[in-house]
A and B are shown apart, each in its own frame.
Chain A
């Protein structure tokens, strides 16, 4: 049996998270109309990043799990970003 105590996330928290997510979505659609030049993609990715942090932390319960879980997720993201980065050592300098 699992002896770890379960953490019940209240409905209210979840609904608040959804509302924030929807606002961020609206924001990212709205922002496309603005002109940030090459920063547009960066802004879009930052907004998407913020959304995924919310989903990971609340909907996927990372905030309430053992520390190990968020650490692993972060490590995986770091590895992915490094792979992307190293790949562009080729493509940026061809």
Chain B
């Protein structure tokens, strides 16, 4: 591109391509627009699933039937789980922020396969639609839980088939994104950006993409087997035909445990971006973070059995899986040390993204440590299928991925929309959310230890007290979410405009391009010779705009 076209290029938001209006979005191959498409889709479905969650919590306000019966409760946690897992957190950060920022952060104009990228959004939407049909047709909404455990999943009269098939289709979307990112990272890094000069968010996306490629087909075939079991009765999981239902659990978790790392690795990447920027300090132990990312991706592949400790697996398998589970905790812990050490003696800047990052550290630690409680064989027998597990995975998936998501959107918002949000409301929303989150989920640990099982619409009267606290917490948290969403949506539409390229003083490439970025991000591909996060030149004087 020559210099005279440089003057004022339209941003990707204003750019007028072949199609106008909404078609210019849903047919756009621009990675940034696709990222936003995912964002809007997820916002919508997150709201739906959150409403289901809050209704369940309201049901649990008192023992006995309050607002719904058992069948409704069963179908609610099933749909809630399917949406939250398959529609929100699995595509999650890679699909939204990975799409938007991966090419920019490695100095590329787009991903390697832009059309494939658009296709994966469409496949995702088609998968969602198929899942949704399960709610309104056939034998009624599925009631298996998001895990579709055999043999119940092929015996229940409810409409499991479309739900399973929809999840299968969404798997393709995940695979396509993974393929796209691996090739993008291998082929399109800016000149000079060697592997160890790549920022950490792309690194975690790289690890994630490999898991997407190597684990997603496993769930694909497993779900197909459920379809075959239901339609043809091939008998693989049916004890009456010689099948072994535990084999289903193996296959399911061979995917679904690595899937947990699909959810959490990019979250770790986001946190690794935010913390140095707001500490004005180089990240501590860049190599250790990179290595632990890849170690998690690899070892995480072989720990699936910790979900099956009470299934009747062999003793030797129990021991092996428990051991490997403790092993995989080490690299995660290394990362926590790195983040804390980065903040140590840093010049902390207390902006909204930083609040999210710090609270992430806290909830992630609680989630991770309770994970070890569940990874130990003896305690697991007591806690399996109780509310302790529900609390644990909400701390990790919601507290981990969810907080990182919130941090990411508050961090990159000005770059994405060219507008600024209202920081006061954002901070207030964070505070209310955080308090609500803790009072919603902390009591569940206690309830679980006392023996309250998960997936029941009812409980014994002695569990009443903590459940009230938990349900109230849910309402507080939802108020926080409402404030945050309202603030972001309003700001995206009519917040004060900004074209400030680098409001936070970040060092990675996305802070050097226009705000919002132009269609091709760069007029000229930059040369990268420095490591990311180099704050040795920090003088203590900030950009006056923030």
A93 touches B316 (CB 8 A): yes
* B305 part of interface (Cβ distance < 8 Å): yes
A87 touches B314 (CB 8 A): no
B214 touches A90 (CB 8 A): no
Output the residue of B186, B246, B315, B317 with the most chain A CB within 10 A: B317
B313 touches A90 (CB 8 A): yes
B250 touches A93 (CB 8 A): no
* A1 part of interface (Cβ distance < 8 Å): no
Q: How far is the CA of A91 from the CA of B249 in the complex (A)?
A: 13
Chain A residues within CB distance 8 Å of chain B: 68, 76, 79, 82-83, 86-87, 89-94
Give which listed residue, B246, B302, B317, B320, contacts A83 with CB less than 8 A: B302
B302 touches A93 (CB 8 A): no
- Per DSSP, are chain B's interface residues mostly helix, strand or loop, or mixed? helix
A89 and B214 in contact (CB under 8 A), knowing A79-B301, A82-B302, A83-B301? no
Find the B residue at minimum CB distance from A92.
Answer: B314
* B254 part of interface (Cβ distance < 8 Å): yes
B320 touches A89 (CB 8 A): yes
Q: How far is the CA of A82 from the CA of B254 in the complex (A)?
A: 12
A90 touches B317 (CB 8 A): yes
Chain B nearest CB, measured from A15 CB (Å) = 33
Q: How far is the CA of A93 from the CA of B301 in the complex (A)?
A: 21
A90 touches B250 (CB 8 A): yes
Chain B residues within CB distance 8 Å of chain A: 186, 214, 246, 250, 254, 301-302, 305, 313-317, 320-321
Chain B nearest CB, measured from A44 CB (Å) = 23
Find the B residue at minimum CB distance from A88.
Answer: B317
* Chain A residues, Cβ within 8 Å of B321: 89
Could you jot down 12 A-B contacts, CB within 8 Å?
Answer: A76-B214, A79-B301, A82-B302, A83-B301, A86-B305, A86-B320, A89-B314, A89-B316, A90-B246, A90-B314, A90-B316, A93-B314
Q: How far is the CA of A76 from the CA of B214 in the complex (A)?
A: 8
Chain B nearest CB, measured from A43 CB (Å) = 27
Q: How far is the CA of A70 from the CA of B305 in the complex (A)?
A: 30
Find the B residue at minimum CB distance from A83.
Answer: B254
Q: How far is the CA of A86 from the CA of B317 in the complex (A)?
A: 8
A89 touches B302 (CB 8 A): no
Chain B nearest CB, measured from A4 CB (Å) = 12
B314 touches A94 (CB 8 A): yes
Find the B residue at minimum CB distance from A94.
Answer: B314
A93 touches B315 (CB 8 A): yes
Give which listed residue, B186, B301, B302, B305, contacts A90 with CB less than 8 A: B305
Q: How far is the CA of A94 from the CA of B314 in the complex (A)?
A: 5
Given contacts A68-B186, A83-B254, A93-B317, 10 further A-B contacts (CB under 8 A): A76-B214, A82-B302, A83-B301, A86-B302, A86-B317, A87-B250, A89-B316, A90-B314, A91-B314, A92-B314
* Chain B residues, Cβ within 8 Å of A93: 314-317
* Chain B residues, Cβ within 8 Å of A87: 250
Chain A nearest CB, measured from B17 CB (Å) = 25
Find the B residue at minimum CB distance from A86.
Answer: B302
Chain A nearest CB, measured from B44 CB (Å) = 36
Chain B nearest CB, measured from A66 CB (Å) = 10
* Chain A residues, Cβ within 8 Å of B246: 90
* Chain A residues, Cβ within 8 Å of B320: 86, 89
* Chain A residues, Cβ within 8 Å of B186: 68
A89 touches B317 (CB 8 A): yes
* Chain B residues, Cβ within 8 Å of A94: 313-314
Q: How far is the CA of A66 from the CA of B11 in the complex (A)?
A: 38
* Chain A residues, Cβ within 8 Å of B316: 89-90, 92-93
Chain A nearest CB, measured from B241 CB (Å) = 18
Q: How far is the CA of A29 from the CA of B250 in the complex (A)?
A: 33
* Chain A residues, Cβ within 8 Å of B305: 86, 90
Find the A residue at minimum CB distance from B244.
Answer: A91
* Chain A residues, Cβ within 8 Å of B314: 89-94
Find the A residue at minimum CB distance from B308.
Answer: A90
* Chain B residues, Cβ within 8 Å of A89: 314, 316-317, 320-321
